[in-house]
A and B are shown apart, each in its own frame.
Chain A
């Protein structure tokens, strides 16, 4: 006889489970576990882009373009100058992918967030679980990128290794802000493409990535000042080749990135709960 005729008996430890203690404590981890399991489905793509991107960018921009740009920038070679910016941009790229469509999807096209919330998981835990899973995905991507930078000889100082953390911080602050916005989207009218083209792309171009923002006319420099990518890139340069800047500015870089992430986190948590529990 098969057990088709009966629903399986309750498993042990029911009492504790049912009281919701574990979900209350570990819910964030369960969400991250779920998301990482889903990412496993496209692991191959992640690996290919994880190894391919740094190779292409460092070769194309760092090595190729560097030949054209003979002048060293602020005491560093051109490759050393662009490398921290490319590293931070790599983190922002991951953020742009993982905090946009998957959030819209979770509410709309494949509303898994509602399923999580029907189980004992709160909106805040879903937000935290998304952040955690994307952190886990972003960290190795940035790590691989950094390894290529070492191979290309783009990091003169040992302290440069901290750039990995800086890049992840930039990715998170941009990404969490994106999530705060995408979680409000009810209908898809191509907002994702707009973010990509009119926010992320200009940010990539005007954040002192390829040239110091002081090279820009003054009326465009503000893009750099509000850009988390610029703050992260400058911070990365301080660490990787010892860019000289006022100490206070270095503090501002860190504070700005942390502040953006905190604001995005607060707004996301509020919006998730509002939308799930209407």
Chain B
């Protein structure tokens, strides 16, 4: 096994130039807290320039995985290489090349907006003059130039998030790690954020993000893994996952919470597969309209009905028997 700790930093760097085919390689990666396995032997690779997602409900082990990839949390077992380096040996070298957007903002509330970028840039050893210039450029990118002198506390949730992303870019990272980047934001703020992230993706920044929003995963990820209870359930592009684990369309019908279960029996045989949820029944089929008219033909009149395309939510439901957001 290659070890780098005896090498000077520049020698480490010179190896990086040709090592990474995959910028992240995890193999049987495990994190245990006492007997509980928060991450249970997961394996995945991320290619340079790829936008890779971990999709799963709260408590699935996404954040723990991100902290290990971010070279701050030490793994219990398995192998992990970030840019060809082992985080156990070269944490600072790895972290010097990552941008991290944590789940909860940890901007310094005692500092003004622009100063937050400056002190953070200094952590990477960027000279003061350069970091000042970089801060101004990033404020523009984050559409916060007019708030440079504001207190962080006075920013909206979406603005804080954008500032955190700007801060994560201060060292021009090779990989950007985003843990639940839009959780808690209103729809408009989410769209602004997605737009910024999409630009980064277009420029070839490698993105790794966790989310429990299927629309976010569909928008931003080239490829993703579905995680649940610390394990990977499936892997592929959003389209491929939908194709493999779901049908083209879904009929959603509601009969009221009391009738749903009873009606489910009468619907049997319609569509490829039926999921009965507490508030509605899902019928998976490649021709939703046809199934819906069959339901009506059987004399069952749903209170509401909807035919839609399958989403990652359906994939998750199929794989785990549970909804993503509970």
- Contact of B96 (CB < 8 Å), options: A3, A23, A117: A23
* A30 & B122 in contact (Cβ 8 Å cutoff): yes
A43 contacts the other chain (CB 8 A): no
B22: A residues at CB distance < 8 A: none
Assembly CA distance A122 to B92 (angstroms): 8
B108 near A112 with CB under 8 A, answer yes
Is B100 part of the contact surface with A, judged by Cβ < 8 Å? yes
| Chain A neighbourhood of B199, CB < 8 A | 5-7
Flag A90-117 by CB within 8 Å of B: 1 or 0 each: 0000000000000000000011101111
Contact-residue bracket for chain B: 35 or more
Most buried by B among A2, A17, A276: A17
Query: If the complex has contacts A27-B123, A37-B111, are A20 and B96 also in contact, measured as CB distance less than 8 A?
Result: yes
Q: Is the CB of A276 within 8 A of B200?
A: no
Cα distance A121–B91 in the bound complex, in angstroms? 9
CA distance A82 to B97 in the complex (A): 55
Indicate whether B79 reaches chain A with its CB closer than 8 angstroms: no
A8-16, A190-198, A211-219, A224-232: which lies at the interface: A8-16
Q: Is B115 an interface residue (CB 8 A)?
A: yes
Partner of B97 from A3, A18, A38 at Cβ < 8 Å: A18
> Could you tell me if B124 and A17 are in contact, using CB atoms closer than 8 angstroms?
yes
Q: Contact between A16 and B95 (Cβ–Cβ < 8 Å)?
A: no
In the bound complex, do residue A14 and residue B172 qualify as a contact, i.e. CB atoms below 8 Å apart? yes
Chain A residues, Cβ within 8 Å of B33: 278
- Rounded to whole angstroms, the CA-CA distance of A24 and B94 in the bound complex is 12
Q: By the criterion CB–CB under 8 Å, are A119 and B124 in contact?
A: yes
Residues in chain B near residue A17, CB distance under 8 A = 96, 124-126, 171
Taking CB atoms, residues of chain B closer than 8 Å to A251 are none
- Smallest beta-carbon distance B30→chain A, Å: 15
Determine, out of B135-143, B275-283, B297-305, the stretch whose residues face the partner at the interface.
B135-143
- Is B169 an interface position by the 8 A CB rule? yes
Residue from B95, B138, B143, B200 within 8 A of A119 (CB atoms): B95
List the one stretch of B69-77, B257-265, B312-320 in contact with chain A.
Answer: B69-77
* Beta-carbon contact of A118 and B124 below 8 Å: no
Q: Are B9 and A276 in contact (CB under 8 A)?
A: no
Option from A3, A22, A120 in Cβ contact (under 8 Å) with B137? A3
Chain B contacts of A278 at CB under 8 A? 33, 73
A42: nearest chain-B partner, CB-CB:
B110
Q: Is A48 an interface residue (CB 8 A)?
A: no
In the assembled complex, which residues on chain B have CB atoms less than 8 Å from the CB atom of A116? Answer: 123
Report yes or no: B134 in contact with A11, Cβ–Cβ below 8 A: yes
Residue contact A16 to B106, C-beta cutoff 8 Å: no
Pair A115/B125 contact, Cβ less than 8 Å = no
A37-B119 CB under 8 A given contacts A3-B141, A15-B13, A110-B108: yes
Q: How far is the CA of A94 from the CA of B111 in the complex (A)?
A: 21
Nearest-Cβ distance from residue B211 to partner chain A, whole angstroms = 19
User: Chain B 96-138 against A: per-residue CB contact (8 Å), 1 yes, 0 no?
Assistant: 1110101010111111000100011011111100100110011
A3 partner residues in chain B, CB cutoff 8 A: 137, 140-141
Bound Cα distance A34, B123 (Å) = 9
Cβ of A18 and Cβ of B100 under 8 Å apart?
no
Could you say which residues of chain B place their CB within 8 Å of the CB of A49? none
B residues less than 8 Å from A30 (CB atoms): 119, 122-123, 125
Q: Contacts A116-B123, A121-B123 known; A19 to B111 CB distance under 8 Å?
A: no
> In the complex, which of the residues B9, B120, B134, B172 contacts A20, with contact meaning CB atoms closer than 8 Å?
B9
Cβ–Cβ contact B108 & A26, under 8 A: no
A248 within 8 A of B: no
**In the complex, are the beta carbons of A33 and B172 less than 8 A apart?**
no
- Say whether, besides A11-B134, A20-B95, A111 and B106 are in contact (CB < 8 Å): yes
Task: Decide if B10 is an interface residue (CB 8 Å cutoff).
Answer: yes
Partner of A38, one of B74, B111, B200: B111
Given known A-B contacts A3-B141, A6-B203, A7-B141, A19 and B120 have beta carbons under 8 A apart: no
A154 to B27, CA, bound (A): 69
Q: Count chain A CB atoms within 10 A of each CB in B73, B124, B130 and give the residue with the most.
A: B124
- The answer to whether B141 touches A277 (Cβ under 8 A) is no
Residue B234 at the chain A interface, CB threshold 8 Å = no
Most buried by B among A5, A34, A278: A34
A151 at the interface (CB under 8 A from B): no
Which residue of chain B has the shortest Cβ distance to A116 in the bound complex? B123
Subset of 28 A-B contacts with CB under 8 Å: A4-B141, A6-B141, A6-B203, A7-B199, A7-B200, A8-B172, A11-B130, A15-B10, A17-B96, A18-B171, A19-B12, A19-B93, A20-B93, A20-B94, A21-B10, A26-B125, A34-B122, A38-B108, A38-B110, A114-B72, A118-B102, A119-B120, A119-B171, A122-B91, A276-B72, A277-B72, A277-B73, A277-B74
Q: A3-B137, A7-B141 are in contact. List 15 more A-B contacts (CB 8 A).
A: A4-B143, A8-B138, A8-B141, A11-B126, A12-B130, A17-B124, A20-B90, A21-B9, A21-B125, A22-B124, A23-B92, A115-B120, A119-B100, A119-B171, A277-B73
Give me the 10 closest cross-chain CB pairs, A-B, nearest first. A22-B125, A19-B9, A119-B123, A120-B92, A8-B137, A20-B96, A20-B92, A21-B9, A20-B93, A38-B110
- Could you tell me which A residues sit within 8 Å of B by CB distance? 2-8, 10-24, 26-27, 30, 33-34, 37-38, 41, 110-112, 114-122, 276-278
